[in-house]
Structure 1
């Protein structure tokens, strides 16, 4: 189901829906697209759902990211390309339209 929703959004039929308070998109299609982005770019190392385990012990689970720092602090890094000091993490840069969708998904799975 998530892949179907993501495919529909990727085709341009739907667009992310921002909440009235300006928060990240939280509609089902946007969340499915955000999960798909996490699975494509991040799941090799990180836990990307509420219940999975990170494949690499030093890769933080995405459900715990907000306990480390505010998620909105990731906006610029996602746009310019996340670069880390450890050798196995590839540089990842998101398309402008994907950043809010990805952060909406991350917001939806936070443990706290």
Structure 2
């Protein structure tokens, strides 16, 4: 995927996040938390407390200290790749990426 389509995808995700009513937002956060627990908790601390099971994996509650979590939209839909071999590549559907980002936003408080 080229840069322009990726930017368009990320922009669309951000606009969707901004326009969600409270009840839908709560449901999206629940889906994001479930996704984090099933797909990410093997390595990352995905809640407000605790250490990551894999030392190199940053706790999700600290991600916003490194960069705006909204910036993950493109990486989540195109496939997250990291510099260490222990993290598998993940590619989420746009609605899954929205849900995970919504959940990550709740950890910033």
Aligned to 1:14: none
Please give the per-residue CA displacement for 1:48-96, whole angstroms capped at 9, x wherever unaligned.
0001220011110000001001111101000100011111100001111
* Larger RCO of the pair (alpha carbons < 8 Å, separation 6+): 2
Alpha-carbon distance change, 25 to 101 in structure 1, aligned in 2, over 3 angstroms: farther
TM-score (norm 1): 0.74
Contact 1:24 1:100 in 2 (8 A): no
Between the two proteins, the alignment pairs up a number of residues equal to: 92
Aligned to 1:110: 108
Which of the numbers 21, 38, 41 marks the counterpart of 2:39? 41
Pick the structure with more helix per residue. Answer: 2
TM-score (norm 2): 0.76
- Structure 2 spans left out of the alignment, 5+ residues: 1-15
Contact 1:81 1:92 in 2 (8 A): yes
Aligned to 1:75: 73
Alignment RMSD (CA, Å): 1.9
